[in-house]
Structure 1
Amino acid sequence: MKFKAVIFDLDGTLVDSLEDIADSMNRVLYALGFKSQSLAAYKYFIGNGIKNLVRAALPEGSREEPLVSECFDLMMKEYRERCLAKTRPYAGIPELLDELTKRQIKLNVLSNKIDELTQKVVAKLLPAWNFEVVMGPSANIPRKPNPTGALAISRKLGLVEADILYLGDSGVDMKTAAAANMYAVGALWGYRTPEELLTNGAKSLISQPGELLSLL
């Protein structure tokens, strides 16, 4: 296989942000008198945008939309303050990005984290590499698995979709890649199971970042 670009998911793929996200939401839950959620639970809440994470973290009987919106605003305030407190690139990611750069593979990020925070995390934690496009949801880019963001990256790069490998850790990512006709690779060091990745369209699974090079 010959690919000219890689689109990376962010959370659970390039960086481990689970603790910062969990800490932020649990502070909101505590402040409102609700029980906090375990770190393991957040592995399944993450990936569909923060508003959906907020909804999932609230007790089942307390998910009316006004409360969800209030908690979303509180969560965003908390997370903006601590999104870099514990979040770090996964082991092996710097070496992978170095090697992809040497091979002149174009690097890109497409996240379901809001665009403002996607830009911030990449700029602060991955400053040594040139990413062609870094993108989160915005007025014109709906959340994954809608393929609009992935296809916009393809157009900006001037590449056909078959030239792009898509690496992510969730079923949402695999669905996005499939909908965009890109090669879907599941990252097993992230937050979800191999079964979820395969069921949703992963064509390959890798257990550590360096294994991606064998697919190029």
Structure 2
Amino acid sequence: MPAAPEPEKSGRVRLTDAQIAKAGIRTDDAGEGRLARHPHVPGTIVPSADNTARIAVKTTGTVVELRKRPGDRVAKGEVVALIESREIAETKGRVPRRAPLGCPAEDPLRARQGTLGPAHLVRAAVLRSLASYRDLQVKENAARRKLSFLGLGPAEIDALPTKPEAQFERQEIRSPIAGRVVERRVDLGAAVGRDNLETELYSVVDSRFTSHEASW
């Protein structure tokens, strides 16, 4: 007497050999292995405040050149923009267009006393020369301090006597750190500086010290 067919259990699906072959199902003996999981989660890149620099201007002016875009790399001290500023031009113009002055000596005038006139007149000429020299020194030092405050380096200030006055309105804006530009806040031709105008041109981040936060 033939055996009765096994009753179908609930939830079980039976496939014939032809169905298995058509579906491309393959079986193999289970063995040791490693399961890898790759979760995909939203995250936020948080720049370190200690390694972020905002490249700003300290004088009113107009942006005439922007050399970097977001994503570009910059080196420390690299020129990233140029502005034109009347304040910069006027301050640069106060630096003498000649080699640094030396203190006028009294001895050469005394040696020429016979041709210059009486001693009291020679002495008066020396005092006037000294006063003029000291006044010029005070003005030059004040101009140098202001240019330094406005962002010019010592080498740039020392080179002013060799530069044409037509270039005095231009100021180079440099990056204080090496990194990557993450934001550009102005467009070409924008007015920048004080009096409620934009002062920041770029934001730069040194990505070597950037932390990452993930949201689960």
Tell me the TM-score normalised to structure 2 length: 0.21
Larger relative strand fraction: 2
Tell me the TM-score normalised to structure 1 length: 0.21
Q: Tell which structure's C-alpha radius of gyration is larger.
A: 2
Higher relative contact order (CA 8 A, sep 6+): 2
